[in-house]
Chain A
Amino acid sequence: GENVEQHPSTLSVQEGDSAVIKCTYSDSASNYFPWYKQELGKRPQLIIDIRSNVGEKKDQRIAVTLNKTAKHFSLHITETQPEDSAVYFCAAKGGAGSYQLTFGKGTKLSVIP
C-alpha cells in the first residue's frame, strides 16, 4: 500500500519567516495530495490540495509543489503568523479506483512572535 513520509516532525520559525514541510510518497499511481491543518483540540481541515496534473498551486500565503518524478510534494507558508501555529498533515490518495487517503505523521509548526 501507499506510504507517506513527512519531515520535519517539528518546526519553529520566527513570525514573518517562511516555513517548508516536505512529504514523499511511495505509490507512483497516487494522483491527489491534500494538506490538512489541525489546531490544538480541533478537527483536521483542508488548507490546500494539488492533483497530479499540476506542478504548483498557490492560495495567498500558502503554496504546494509536486514533483511526480521524485514522488515528493511540499507545503510552503510565507510571512508566517502566530495563527499558523498548528499540526500540518500531508496525505496521498492512490490512482483510479482508490478511495483511501494515507497520511503522513504530521509536522508541529510553532510560529514565534
Chain B
Amino acid sequence: NAGVTQTPKFQVLKTGQSMTLQCAQDMNHEYMSWYRQDPGMGLRLIHYSVGAGITDQGEVPNGYNVSRSTTEDFPLRLLSAAPSQTSVYFCASSYPGNTEAFFGQGTRLTVV
C-alpha cells in the first residue's frame, strides 16, 4: 500500500502561473481534503470531497480549484499563483466517520 501520494514534493512558480498539485490514495477512502500549512497557523482546510463528483469549500478556498472524478484522485489547481500561496500543502484521506486521516508527504510551494 502506497497510502496517500502527493506530487511534486517541491515547486517554484512565478506569480501568475498556474499548476496542479496531484494527490492519489489507494485505500478506497471516500473522504479527501487539501490543507495548507503556514508557520504558526496550523493546518487550514482549503477544499474537501466526500466522494467522486462531490467537492466543497473549506476555510481558505480562494485561488484554488478542485475536482474529484475518481475515488483515488483529488488534484488541487492554482489558477494564477500569488506570493500569498507560498506554503506547504498536504492532501489527506479517510473513511467516513470518526476515523484516522492519512496525510501525504506534502508539497512545498514557493511563489516568486
A residues in contact (CB < 8 Å) with B = 1, 6, 9, 31-32, 34, 42-46, 49, 51, 89, 93, 99-106
CB-contacts of B35-87 with A (<8 A): 35, 40-45, 48, 50, 58-59
Q: Is the CB of A100 within 8 A of B42?
A: no
Q: Which residues of B contact A32 (CB under 8 A)?
A: 98
Q: Is the CB of B104 within 8 A of A99?
A: no
Q: Is the CB of A44 within 8 A of B41?
A: no
Within 8 Å by CB of B100, from A46, A100, A102, lies A46
Q: What band does the interface of chain B fall in when counting residues whose beta carbon is under 8 Å from A?
A: 20 to 34
Having A99-B50, A101-B101, one finds 15 other A-B pairs with CB under 8 Å, namely: A6-B42, A34-B100, A42-B105, A43-B105, A44-B103, A49-B98, A51-B98, A89-B42, A99-B31, A99-B96, A100-B33, A100-B58, A101-B45, A102-B45, A104-B42
What CA separation (Å) do A44 and B100 show in the bound complex? 11
What CA separation (Å) do A44 and B35 show in the bound complex? 11
CB of A61 to closest CB in B, whole Å: 20
CB of B3 to closest CB in A, whole Å: 10
CB of A16 to closest CB in B, whole Å: 29
CB of B17 to closest CB in A, whole Å: 25
Q: Is the CB of B41 within 8 A of A105?
A: yes
What CA separation (Å) do A9 and B90 show in the bound complex? 21
Determine the residue in chain A with the shortest Cβ distance to B32. Answer: A99
What CA separation (Å) do A107 and B48 show in the bound complex? 25
CB of A46 to closest CB in B, whole Å: 5
